[in-house]
Structure 1
Amino acid sequence: MGNEYRIALAGNPNTGKSTLFNALTGLRQHTGNWAGKTVSMAQGSVPFKDKVFQLVDLPGTYSLFSNSKDEEVARNYIVFEKPDVTLVVLDATSLERNLNLALQVLEMTKNVVICINLIDEAEKQGIKINEKLLMNRLGVPVIKISARNKIGFPLLLDTIDRIITGAIECHPAQMKYSDEIEEQIRKIEPKVREMVGDRISSRWVSLRLLDGDEALLNELNKRFVPEGVR
């Protein structure tokens, strides 16, 4: 349907990602296995204004490399299935540890919302988070929420809607690496771009290939290389 949009939920385990999913979708959800995978996923719908957001609860992971099946599945969904918006759920009480995953997602895709969950718990511990500063640094919307108490939901849903309509443009901050790594990226990125075009981030693919990510290389071969030339 023309008014349905896919929203992926990514996050470390125990950040309240599934609590957010359950609170937003209520009874409008179901669980099933990924095609060809043993990893299960939950999907649910959220009607908002004239649209329906189809939420996909990705496996909880600490990174999006290829260290486990969960990581691979979550990463492949964001990169290859291209959800309209990706929500990255962070724990407000462990923000520094959680930001690693957020920075990885920002390298992979453009339309990202950072959801800082458990904000009520953080306030009890005297933790103050300047979401506007984070927004300026990261280049994407940052929303403080409490999934358990449904705090921040109207702003979160409105932000997703405004990204979809183009009222908000995301400009994810680009991580800078050492001069040596940046030089290697410059060398191989043009060849990567010839293969993937603008369908996925050629810079991100270049980084992963420099890191020796064989699982990603196999996935790229399956998706982008014609059978006759493999």
Structure 2
Amino acid sequence: MATKQAYRIALAGNPNTGKSTLFNALTGLKQHTGNWAGKTVSMAEGIVRHKDKEYRLIDLPGTYSLFSNSTDEEVARNYIIFEKPDVTLVILDATSLERNLNLALQVLEMTPNVIVCINLIDEAKKRGIVVNEGLLMRELGVPVIKMSARNKIGFSILLDTIDRMVKGEISVRPVPFIYNEETERKLEQIEPEVRKLVGDEFPARWIALRLLDGDTSLLREIEKRMLQKEDKEWNSIEASQTNRLENF
């Protein structure tokens, strides 16, 4: 990943997984809140420093999925896919892994730069639940860290893992999620056409899946973003030509 002054770290998770507790514990007083542009959904950003780097943490709205069935889901989805954070932390509840993993799998279809945080391990221990993070890591293909946000357990491992990921020292290979035969056949037909339109700008397979779901809001958002990019590129060309003429 390119070296930059501050890396952007997005926090995603179901409601009540301790996501905001983790955000608050890491950022402390170095945070501010507001609303997402054009939305009534509140947003929170904060700064955490580790070793020689500064990280800007973005606390995404708590959602159960990223299928844009609500404004919260749309905001979280758009940030991950269009803003492309350097790392996305997916916070899971150790006592409800089966339900929480659905969101983690959706995020892994959108970006490989993911760290899965198994939170509330203290509560899981009380209930006799044992989480095998090594097995999950092999199955998912990304780092998996057990932690307790409210007790600040696992923070040093998490920050070190983020540091290694932004430096490119961790090789992530998310395991592709294979759908039923009919869906995969349709994806084979649609994905090449999507790739022609978006190139490597966005994950073509994920967009193809959303098209199969009939996600028209995503199509509108992609069109808007691509038009904005074209306008910026055109303005940049015009400015460059103007400068050359002025210096002639």
TM-score by length of 1: 0.96
Q: Which amino acid aligns with 1:16?
A: G
Aligned equivalent of 1:208 = 210
Give RMSD over aligned pairs. Answer: 1.2
Distance 2:37 2:68 in 1: 18
Q: 2:128 aligns with which of 126, 129, 142?
A: 126
Structure 1 residues without counterparts, runs of 5 or longer: none
Aligned equivalent of 1:110 = 112
| TM superposition shift of 1:114 | 0.3
Distance 2:170 2:54 in 1: 18
Deviates more, 1:114-123 or 1:1-10: 1-10
Render the CA deviation track for 1:67-110: whole Å, top value 9, x for unaligned: 00000000000000000000000000011010000000000111
Aligned equivalent of 1:164 = 166
| Secondary structure in structure 2 of the residue aligned to 1:128 | coil
Structure 2 residues without counterparts, runs of 5 or longer: 232-248
Q: Which amino acid aligns with 1:182?
A: E
Q: 1:198 aligns with which of 192, 197, 200?
A: 200
Distance 1:22 1:223 in 2: 31
Q: What is the percent sequence identity of the aligned residues? A: 71
Check conservation: 1:3, 1:50, Cα contact below 8 A: no
Q: Which amino acid aligns with 1:110?
A: P
Aligned residues: 227
Q: Which amino acid aligns with 2:13?
A: G
Aligned equivalent of 1:72 = 74
Check conservation: 1:139, 1:171, Cα contact below 8 A: yes
Q: 1:58 aligns with which of 50, 55, 60?
A: 60
Check conservation: 1:25, 1:46, Cα contact below 8 A: yes
| TM superposition shift of 1:193 | 0.8
Distance 1:73 1:162 in 2: 28
1:1-230 equivalences under 5 Å are 2-225=4-227
Distance 2:194 2:164 in 1: 32
Distance 1:197 1:160 in 2: 28
Distance 1:90 1:156 in 2: 14
| Secondary structure in structure 1 of the residue aligned to 2:34 | strand
